[in-house]
Amino acid sequence: MRVVTLGEIMLRLKSPGHERLFQSPLLEATFGGGEANVAVSLSQFGMDAAFVTALPNNLIGDACLRELKRWGVDTSKIIKTSGRLGTYYLEAGAIQRPSQVIYDRTDSAISNLRAGDMDWDQIFDNTDWFHITGITPAISATARDLSIEAVKIAKEKGLTVSCDFNFRQKLWKYGQDATEVMPRLMEYVDVGIANEEDCQKSLGIEADSDVTKGKLDTAKYKALGDAVLEAFPNMSLIAITLRESKSADINMWSACCNDGKNFYLSRKYEMMDIVDRVGGGDSFAGGIIYGLNNYNNKQDALDFAVAASCLKHSISGDFNMVTLSEVERLKGGDSSGRVNR
Amino acid sequence: MRVVTLGEIMLRLKSPGHERLFQSPLLEATFGGGEANVAVSLSQFGMDAAFVTALPNNLIGDACLRELKRWGVDTSKIIKTSGRLGTYYLEAGAIQRPSQVIYDRTDSAISNLRAGDMDWDQIFDNTDWFHITGITPAISATARDLSIEAVKIAKEKGLTVSCDFNFRQKLWKYGQDATEVMPRLMEYVDVGIANEEDCQKSLGIEADSDVTKGKLDTAKYKALGDAVLEAFPNMSLIAITLRESKSADINMWSACCNDGKNFYLSRKYEMMDIVDRVGGGDSFAGGIIYGLNNYNNKQDALDFAVAASCLKHSISGDFNMVTLSEVERLKGGDSSGRVNR
Amino acid sequence: MRVVTLGEIMLRLKSPGHERLFQSPLLEATFGGGEANVAVSLSQFGMDAAFVTALPNNLIGDACLRELKRWGVDTSKIIKTSGRLGTYYLEAGAIQRPSQVIYDRTDSAISNLRAGDMDWDQIFDNTDWFHITGITPAISATARDLSIEAVKIAKEKGLTVSCDFNFRQKLWKYGQDATEVMPRLMEYVDVGIANEEDCQKSLGIEADSDVTKGKLDTAKYKALGDAVLEAFPNMSLIAITLRESKSADINMWSACCNDGKNFYLSRKYEMMDIVDRVGGGDSFAGGIIYGLNNYNNKQDALDFAVAASCLKHSISGDFNMVTLSEVERLKGGDSSGRVNR
Amino acid sequence: MRVVTLGEIMLRLKSPGHERLFQSPLLEATFGGGEANVAVSLSQFGMDAAFVTALPNNLIGDACLRELKRWGVDTSKIIKTSGRLGTYYLEAGAIQRPSQVIYDRTDSAISNLRAGDMDWDQIFDNTDWFHITGITPAISATARDLSIEAVKIAKEKGLTVSCDFNFRQKLWKYGQDATEVMPRLMEYVDVGIANEEDCQKSLGIEADSDVTKGKLDTAKYKALGDAVLEAFPNMSLIAITLRESKSADINMWSACCNDGKNFYLSRKYEMMDIVDRVGGGDSFAGGIIYGLNNYNNKQDALDFAVAASCLKHSISGDFNMVTLSEVERLKGGDSSGRVNR
Amino acid sequence: MRVVTLGEIMLRLKSPGHERLFQSPLLEATFGGGEANVAVSLSQFGMDAAFVTALPNNLIGDACLRELKRWGVDTSKIIKTSGRLGTYYLEAGAIQRPSQVIYDRTDSAISNLRAGDMDWDQIFDNTDWFHITGITPAISATARDLSIEAVKIAKEKGLTVSCDFNFRQKLWKYGQDATEVMPRLMEYVDVGIANEEDCQKSLGIEADSDVTKGKLDTAKYKALGDAVLEAFPNMSLIAITLRESKSADINMWSACCNDGKNFYLSRKYEMMDIVDRVGGGDSFAGGIIYGLNNYNNKQDALDFAVAASCLKHSISGDFNMVTLSEVERLKGGDSSGRVNR
Amino acid sequence: MRVVTLGEIMLRLKSPGHERLFQSPLLEATFGGGEANVAVSLSQFGMDAAFVTALPNNLIGDACLRELKRWGVDTSKIIKTSGRLGTYYLEAGAIQRPSQVIYDRTDSAISNLRAGDMDWDQIFDNTDWFHITGITPAISATARDLSIEAVKIAKEKGLTVSCDFNFRQKLWKYGQDATEVMPRLMEYVDVGIANEEDCQKSLGIEADSDVTKGKLDTAKYKALGDAVLEAFPNMSLIAITLRESKSADINMWSACCNDGKNFYLSRKYEMMDIVDRVGGGDSFAGGIIYGLNNYNNKQDALDFAVAASCLKHSISGDFNMVTLSEVERLKGGDSSGRVNR
């Protein structure tokens, strides 16, 4: 099983602990981004995962490449070009203070890529699954075209296509709204991954619920899934993550999925003392791709994905550095956190 | 609106994370102290704030001055003298283990200041508000005289005077008790700020409640406020913070205020995973001064002050490094801590 | 009152904060091990405590010796030999992710010690109490013989002997199970210290309860204590710690003890935001030894031990770096965690 | 004496110690840039110094502003706009391995400024000296126009204008070479500051010497100065720094200056174990501006500038965090480095 | 060109900066070992390099594997077994205080490997060069047998075999001396790499010189090379590194080589302020293998190797994290260390 | 051989690496002071060493006590009193920038001690040698009286008394100069230890040399020693350290001694890249005390002391954390700094 993901990987610069940005003169420098995070998850679970992007041809691009190799991701299809590496600054919130993400992605190498720049025949050779997110089409008009080209060719070649809607308000700046672009992408997507806000902001499909309250009504989520599947008949499954945010440190975490016939709901995890919330959704996407390909029922796939992404909240950095057996143990019910010695 | 605060700023030496003091050979070195913390809060909220003190004429005093400038505080009235910079050591508690504060303030530059050393005409030029706390009169007999001189002249010049009672048992060592000195100060105070213990230990006015239990009865706090206002008829408002300490990491936080006519009670915040509790009261004082000057009703002023000081508990260091818009968002009701990106 | 403890002290290598091992290229290097931890606790509480072991004759053994001296432990009876210092790697869990302990103890200096290598006459000179754990007999066949020799001679010399059963699945590798060895040791033990799993795995005596659920039934624990005391009539007291693990960060902590006549149950502490859970049991053992020797009733001794070990969960590192007065304050009921200034 | 400097300040991200970039996941985050560095130097020496630039209106721009305030620089004329904060990555070389600087300045706030965006009447109010460098005109065509506008107006208003040529190969990318632009700027410059390579690459005026050899011939430098002054008759003084680079850690440092009548040569300092070489030239520029305004002969001014910049090599970060008295002591001849206690 | 290296990779635990081991409770944790270091060098220079070893099947072995992948080394032939990861502790010396290396390699996974455990047909498939050192045959009797098997089969399959003698006094503990084993290995070696002490202690062939004096006589080194080549007629080239140790921080570094016909001597580098001296010899070995395969004369190959290993002394960690172009620039003569911007 | 030293131990707060104080918000917190440093040296060399002082009865005094125990110093005679722990701030110089020491010793516990506070019978029980420095009599008038009492009683009890003159300009503030007090102390001193400046400033005895030049004339030092011995006939030996300070990082280090009959001169060490220069003189004092008691000629004693103190310059912190064998190796002539593995 070979999976290819396409997207932007960024330098991630985080202030230490719960410090505000530049409170002290240190930043933790790692790398991450939605689609790369998915590739790392899949590689960690033992799958053959390739990540495709453009990186700048300098020491920073080199370091990023090394980090992907470290986690076993196939980087052989990555293009080196001019431009810079997109960067994001992260400040971890605490209690009632929210985390801050500041994007500094102008002129990133991938934002300058155009349809036609990638050799899809080589990239998709011997590949079964292609994953993309709503971030790449948001970066620039050329990246939008590249994204649509990618899913179209993937579909033509018979790959399963998954897409995490991943709506980011601050990115859609080139003159089109998400709701103008994302539906075009959806025509080629088999598996949709989203949260409530994503559905509304990316596709214009709403659930009747208020995310700032934290109270969730799973019935509404079934209806939301139904609406998405109805709008995009080629889509065979839509998985929705359900985050109830009590505070920056305390979230409830669960998910549901909907395949047109059945509605599946996961266990809900109470996550106190969250270590790092960024990449939580990506780790769910990685989990659901693994699950759908390695379990023969959707409940197990969903439960695996929720357990994997629950564990992500205990890991600092974008990548979900957990092992298959760790996810399986939590999925199996042991959430006691007792020392393993 | 120009505000002047007078008091002692100290070097703050804290062991890293939750480590005990000197457990490993590192200390985090910042600066802080009740009245300086208020000046920084006001400057952060966009007000013109000056801090007045005496600093030693050496590299340590210079660094302290730079830190105040960094946060936009007007330092032009600070005096450089001999003596040392008062220092305090801090160890962050955890769970049932309390935080430890060790004062090392002997012979600090400000403790040697005398009434007459300050040029109040210059300092109070074009100024509307003067803030002091019960710490300065506790440091030394000469600092007591300076404090009384300051509030008296401020009052004469028509400034509004606020005072945070801030009772510190370990400081009153020069031969007088707080209850002998603080009532004299109160004669010139318009706005009192306190917690329950402060009222009792500074003024001898008690609420019938036990702070070690954590159960609070707001009715009693109204009565306490009434008693203070009755004792000091010149005082037009008394604000009282209500902290329920479940453990070193978990506190409930709210406040009330009393203007003789009405009693106002704030929302209560549940603060799990406190990052740094020191300076919480000072950030409330800064908030109430901002609020009374920028909202036209006391409920809003109180709500602003409680939101500001709630956020302080998520910030390491004495200074409340939050922005006006962050406080306003929390005051407005969004305490979900969702990532801001 | 002089207490001697015998066992293995290890180099403890921990990844920073909640990071996974080797996530960043730093390890926190301290020292610890069950019996050394007990000696440090006793020394902290003002008792005369000696630790006996074998250390390698190199810079690492020297550093370990210095650390024991730092905490006031008598190290004069420690033997320097060949071999290495046993090492363990620790990764702190978070939320639902458990902590990981990896032992690297092959060929440790103490594992090569044999019965007869120690001069017990000198070691036990002027000594009242001897403490050992189930770890030493698990390390190697020679260490097993040494352990049995030690308790036997201690008993002959009239010392009180305590043993923390401390079952470690991964250690029993030399051909005998714990249940074959530990009962032989028990013949010389006056005070047993254990948790539920220890009783079952070390002695084959079970309580009818499931530790992975977190629900505890104290009645069963009385029965368990009765069973142990019945099986080993020389044992006059068995103390059992009761940990309910909600997650890696949140545990409930209490204990009971049983002297054949009475059953004592402690207060239960809710430990949110645990700083370091390793060494929790050892700090209880240290507390119960102190308590039995310094209070004249067992309820107080038990309460002291539970308060001491509750505080340990707020301290990073194996050693329980708290003072007698801190434990006494918590035992006295003040768990509010209010700042001490 | 009020001095204004105009230019770009950047976020400076440096790997720790001598590590390669991203060798470990930490970066030291400070701020710096040629003209800001000069303003900080002047402020440290007690002069009234303002820095003018455009900063992005986000948390990163705010932090940059705070850092300038910390060092006493007047930031009241800084404009907040869109765009990003230019960034540079720094890796400290060692022995034969050179330091690496990677610029990431695309789309910086200042690169988008245009002639006319600044209110020069306000900025130059009550000002005596204006300082610019060859970096700003290299950033973009609009920044070039802004630079020329600035020196022209400064000259018209009677300010003394200084310019550090500061040639940076990698910046001149908008279609003009330095030699096309810099001579136009020179028409308004009174005091030129340069090294050998700058004269050649910025003005096309060469000294007959090879900087990669490290051997310097001061006679040639007199000729070079003469040539520059001849080419730009309005320039009354040209100061040239002379760096002999033995290795990344070991440099010889001296300077000369030429006022058309006399040639002045400084003492040569042997700098072993350089701490941070970046900002060395800027600290010379700051020193010469201070010197020319505070000494009544050029030899003293030059000696002050060389001593100041020699000390800079012992300071990590772009800013020359030394005091006037420290520079004066070294200028006075005490280079023994004996402990000051 | 594919190169395979065989050997032990260890966890490297170093105290920070110049601190003594355990002076503060931190260790820098990286990975390294002679043959792995060579593989990383070759990979950095763009060659296809595989490293073969046995790693323990635990989190520590996993992390080691990830680090090799990060640097592009082919790890597909590495075996996972029981045992531990060999460890070494490093303390960086300074001035007259030597660096300390403490080996903790007992029972390492590779020490338990036996001849026959490796599938040489697969490992050597499509391979041109095999590199081994004198460390592996020193670890254990079984590792000795494995080493001899490896060179023998490599030779049979037509690979070029290189060996760095790398004498380590503390390792030869299983009953045979280096001089009994190494000559047997030499029968299959084409390219020998050594320093003076290695030749004497590994092969019993001496140069008439005293390494503790630091004075070197290159004539003697020619004679030494001649003697080695005479003793082992199959060896076609012997390269000898010449280190003159002035202090822990200051070394002179050069090398010579001898192919039976000609004697080549490199430039001598003066290395002041050495950052990390460990792995210097390995980086030379990597350089000579690259050089012999990529230059068509031995002087260039030698010069490349010396430049590469000179740069290693500026890099912390075992791996020589430099690029081909950086080595070529130094080889080309630019040792000025001027900032590259 | 039991040695007692008396003096002040301080908290030492140092900025990291070569950073200026408070450049970043971290301080390295260790402990040190002349006489405690000597006690640690002697303990490291295997002698029985006790340190006598007064420490404040708080967490800071406790930590200081633990640190002394860690290094094997007998702390049983230390008094706990009120007052604070003296503190000093240290900033490491580099190149031409000198290190800065800022004393913050007001009201230290020892400065309040009076003659009669110590139980000299107990302290000097079974003791052979007493060491004091010129720092203690400089602290306060009462500490002066205590110092004189101490040497007088030591002499009466037949101990050998050594004194390191250690002149500190900033300390003599209670109304007497060093030259008024130190000669009184000298009447009881057998072994004097000093540098040139100490002799002049403490005793008013001058050598005709200029320490700011760095050129030394050993003949003058013989004359200086003769003059001291002549002035104080009871003194049987005067040892003088000779530091030539090229820069903050580069010093030449040697010493001489004079017993009235012979003049001994040591080897001169070239110390490049000094790690920490503070405590260099104390480590010489420790070395000479060890040497005089363990070698049977003065040349060896002197050579040991110079080798020990040369190594100190490679160790960060006040304490000379080196072993006897390390000093003996350097004394024996091996200063090559080759890796010890």
Contacts of D245 in chain E (CB under 8 A): 336-338
- From CA E20, how far away is CA D310, in angstroms rounded? 32
The predicted pLDDT at position C36 comes to 98
Q: Does A82 touch chain F (CB under 8 A)?
A: no
Decide if A320 contacts A40 (C-beta within 8 A). Answer: yes
Sign of CA dihedral D273, D275, D281, D286: negative
Distance between CA atoms of A3 and C111, rounded to whole angstroms?
A: 49
pLDDT recorded at residue B187: 97
Convert the pLDDT of each residue in F147-173 to its tens digit: 999 999 999 999 999 999 999 999 999
Yes or no, beta carbons of A69 and E70 under 8 Å apart: yes
Here the tokens at position E230 are 């005479």
Mean pLDDT of chain A: 95
Which stretch of DSSP H or E encloses residue B181?
Answer: helix B178-186
Mean pLDDT (whole number) for A277-305:
98
pLDDT by residue (tens digit) across C81-117? 999 999 999 999 999 999 999 999 999 999 999 999 9
**Token digits for C149?**
């020799």
Strand-pair partners of B258: B238, B263
Indicate the residue type of D157: K
Question: What integer pLDDT is reported at residue D196 of this predicted model?
Answer: 86
Query: Cβ D70–B69 below 8 Å, yes or no?
Result: yes
List of chain E residues whose C-beta atoms are within 8 Å of the C-beta of residue D211: 336, 338
pLDDT tens by residue, A142-162: 999 999 999 999 999 999 999
Interface check for E71 against chain A (CB to CB < 8 A): the answer is yes
- Tens digit of each residue's pLDDT, chain E (341 residues): 899 999 999 999 999 999 999 999 999 999 999 999 999 999 999 999 999 999 999 999 999 999 999 999 999 999 999 999 999 999 999 999 999 999 999 999 999 999 999 999 999 999 999 999 999 999 999 999 999 999 999 999 999 999 999 999 999 999 999 999 999 999 999 999 999 899 999 999 987 655 455 555 778 899 999 999 999 999 999 999 999 999 999 999 999 999 999 999 999 999 999 999 999 999 999 999 999 999 999 999 999 999 999 999 999 999 999 999 999 999 999 999 999 98
- The predicted pLDDT at position D218 comes to 78
Q: What span, in angstroms and rounded, lies between the C-alpha atoms of F218 and C203?
A: 77
CA distance E57 to chain A (A): 14
Q: Does F24 touch chain A (CB under 8 A)?
A: yes
B89 touches chain F (CB under 8 A): yes
Interface residue D158 vs chain C (CB under 8 A): no
Q: Which residue has the higher pLDDT, A78 or F209?
A: A78
Element containing residue C104 per DSSP (H, E):
strand C100-104
Sign, CA dihedral E308-E309-E315-E320, equals positive
Query: Which residues of chain C make contact with D25, given a CB cutoff of 8 A?
Result: 24
Q: Is the pTM here over 0.90, yes or no?
A: yes
Give every CB contact of residue E156 below 8 A, 6+ residues apart in sequence: none
For residue range D11-20, list pLDDT tens digits in order: 999 999 999 9
Is B337 in contact with A245 (Cβ distance < 8 A)?
A: yes
- Judged by a CB distance cut-off of 8 A, whether residue F275 touches chain E is yes
The number of CA neighbours under 13 Å toward the Cβ of B138 is 22
Segment B246-259 shows an average pLDDT of 97
The whole-number pLDDT of residue B216 equals 58
- C-alpha span between C202 and C135 (Å, rounded): 11
Please list, in sequence order, all residues whose beta carbon lies within 8 angstroms of the beta carbon of residue A90, skipping any fewer than 6 positions away: A12, A13, A14, A15, A99, A100, A101, A102, A278
Give the SS3 label for residue F316: coil
Q: Note whether B70 contacts D72, CB cutoff 8 Å.
A: no
Give me the interface pTM, i.e. the ipTM: 0.94
- How much is the average pLDDT of A129-136? 98
What span, in angstroms and rounded, lies between the C-alpha atoms of D119 and E161? 73
Measured between alpha carbons, how far is D212 from D245 in angstroms, rounded to an integer? 8
Torsion sign (Cα): C209, C212, C216, C218? positive
Round to whole Å and give the CA distance between A308 and A332.
12
A278 in contact with chain C, both atoms CB, cutoff 8 A: no
Q: Return the amino acid letter for C123.
A: I
Q: How far apart are CA C168 and CA C159, in angstroms?
A: 26
Residue D316: which of F19, F170, F273 has the nearest Cβ?
A: F19
pLDDT for residue C213: 52
CB F40 within 8 Å of CB D297? no
Q: Does the pLDDT value for residue C210 go beyond 70?
A: no
Asked if residue A105 has pLDDT above 60, the reply is yes
Of E17, E95, E277, the CB nearest to F274: E95
F89 has a chain D CB within 8 A of its CB: no
3-state SS assignment for residue C91: strand
- Contact: F337, E246; criterion CB under 8 Å: yes
Cβ pair B272:A247 closer than 8 A: yes
- Whether A238 has its CB under 8 Å from any CB of chain C: the answer is no
Residue of chain F minimizing CA distance to C321: F63
Query: Which position has the token pair 């599938």?
Result: E119
Q: Does A317 touch chain C if contact means CB atoms closer than 8 Å?
A: yes
Interface contact D169, partner C, CB < 8 A: no
Q: Which residues of E touch A71 (CB under 8 A)?
A: 66
Vertex C111 angle, CA C105 and C114, to 5°: 180
Tell me: pLDDT of D212 over 70.
no
The whole-angstrom separation of Cα F191 and Cα F186 is 9
Chain D residue closest in CA terms to C25? D24
Closest CB to C316 among B19, B98, B273: B19
Please name the member of C19, C23, C101 whose beta carbon is closest to the beta carbon of A341: C101
Among residues D303, E17, D335, D248, which one has the least CA distance to residue F248?
A: D335
CB pairs under 8 A between B and C: 85
- C69/F70 Cβ within 8 A: yes
How far apart CA F313 and CA F306 sit, in angstroms, is 11
Ramachandran angles phi, psi of E266, nearest 5°: -90, 170
Q: Chain C residues with CB inside 8 Å of E106's CB? A: 84, 106-107
F101 in contact with chain D, both atoms CB, cutoff 8 A = yes
Cα distances (Å, whole numbers) of residue B247 to B272, B308, C272, C283, C309 = 9, 21, 9, 21, 16
Say if residue E184 is exposed, middle or buried (CB neighbours under 10 Å; 0-12, 13-18, 19+): middle
The predicted pLDDT at position A2 comes to: 97
Identify the pLDDT of residue F261.
Answer: 95
Residue A103 class from Cβ within 10 Å (0-12 exposed, 13-18 middle, 19+ buried)?
A: middle
Contact F63 B21 (CB under 8 A): yes
E19, E95, E277 member nearest F313 (Cβ): E95
- Report chain E residues whose CB lies below 8 A from the CB of F315: 18, 20, 97
Q: How far away is chain A from the Cα of E67, in angstroms, using its nearest Cα?
A: 6
Measure the CA dihedral E283/E287/E289/E294, to 10°: 160
CB contact under 8 A, B101 and C341: yes
pLDDT at A196 over 90: no
Q: Check if F233 contacts A (Cβ < 8 Å).
A: no
The count of other CB atoms within 10 Å of the CB of residue D112 is 17
Cβ(B255)–Cβ(B283) below 8 Å: no
Q: Residue A53: what pLDDT?
A: 98
Nearest CA-CA distance, residue F323 and chain C, Å: 10
> What is the percent of chain B where pLDDT is above 90?
94
SS3 F112: helix
Calculate the dihedral angle through the C-alpha atoms of B71, B74, B76, B80, rounding to the nearest 10 degrees. Answer: -50
Partner B contacted by C272 (CB < 8 A): yes
**Residue B35 near residue B3, CB atoms below 8 Å:** no
Task: In whole angstroms, give the CA distance from residue D321 to residue E176.
Answer: 60
Size of interface E-F (CB pairs under 8 A): 84
Query: For residue C231, which amino acid is it?
Result: A
Could you give the residue ranges of the DSSP H alpha helices within C190-279?
196-198, 218-231
| DSSP code of residue A308 | H
Q: Which residues of C touch F78 (CB under 8 A)?
A: none
The three-state DSSP-derived secondary structure of chain A is CEEEEECCCEEEEECCCCCCCCCCCEEEEEEECHHHHHHHHHHHCCCEEEEECEEECCHHHHHHHHHHHHCCCECCCCEEECCECCEEEEECCECCECCEEEEECCCEHHHHCCCCCCCHHHHCCCCCEEEEECCHHHHCHHHHHHHHHHHHHHHHCCCEEEEECCCCCCCCCCCCCHHHHHHHHHCCCCEEEEEHHHHHHHHCCCCCCCCCCCCCCHHHHHHHHHHHHHHCCCCCEEEEEEEEECCCCCEEEEEEEECCCCEEECCCEEECCCCCCCCHHHHHHHHHHHHHHHCCCHHHHHHHHHHHHHHHCCCCCCCCCCCHHHHHHHHCCCCCCCCEC
Q: How confident is the model at residue D213 (pLDDT cuts 50, 70, 90)?
A: low
Whether C97 and A338 lie within 8 Å, measured CB to CB: no
| Buried b / exposed e along A227-236 (16+ C-beta atoms within 10 A) | bbbeebeebe
Amino acid at A291: G
Q: Which residues of A touch E66 (CB under 8 A)?
A: 70-72
DSSP-based three-state secondary structure for F153: helix
Q: How far apart are CA A83 and CA D254, in angstroms?
A: 38
F337 inside 8 A of chain A by CB: no
Question: How confident is the model over C36-62, as a mean pLDDT?
Answer: 98
For residue C106, which of C56, C31, C50 has the smallest C-alpha distance?
C56
- Cα(C155)–Cα(E55) distance, rounded to whole angstroms? 46
CB count in 10 Å sphere of residue A177: 12
Per-residue pLDDT band for D210 (boundaries 50, 70, 90) equals: low
Give the residue-averaged pLDDT of B92-116.
96
Q: Which chains are adjacent to chain D, needing at least 3 Cβ pairs under 8 Å?
A: A, B, C, E, F
Q: A: neighbours with 3+ CB pairs under 8 Å?
A: B, C, D, E, F
The chains in contact with chain C, meaning 3 or more Cβ pairs closer than 8 Å, are: A, B, D, E, F
- Nearest residue in E to B23, CA atom: E25
pLDDT tens digits, A172-195: 999 999 999 999 999 999 999 999
From the candidates D10, D18, D23, D97, which should be mutated to test the interface with E, based on the most E CB atoms within 10 A?
Answer: D97
Assess C277–B contact: CB distance below 8 Å, yes or no: no
Rounded-to-integer distance, Cα E228 and Cα E222, Å: 10
- Identify all chain C residues contacting E60, using CB atoms and an 8 Å cutoff: 21-22, 89, 102, 104
Helices B298-312/B280-294 angle, 10° precision: 150
User: Can you tell me whether residue B164 is helix, strand or coil?
Assistant: strand
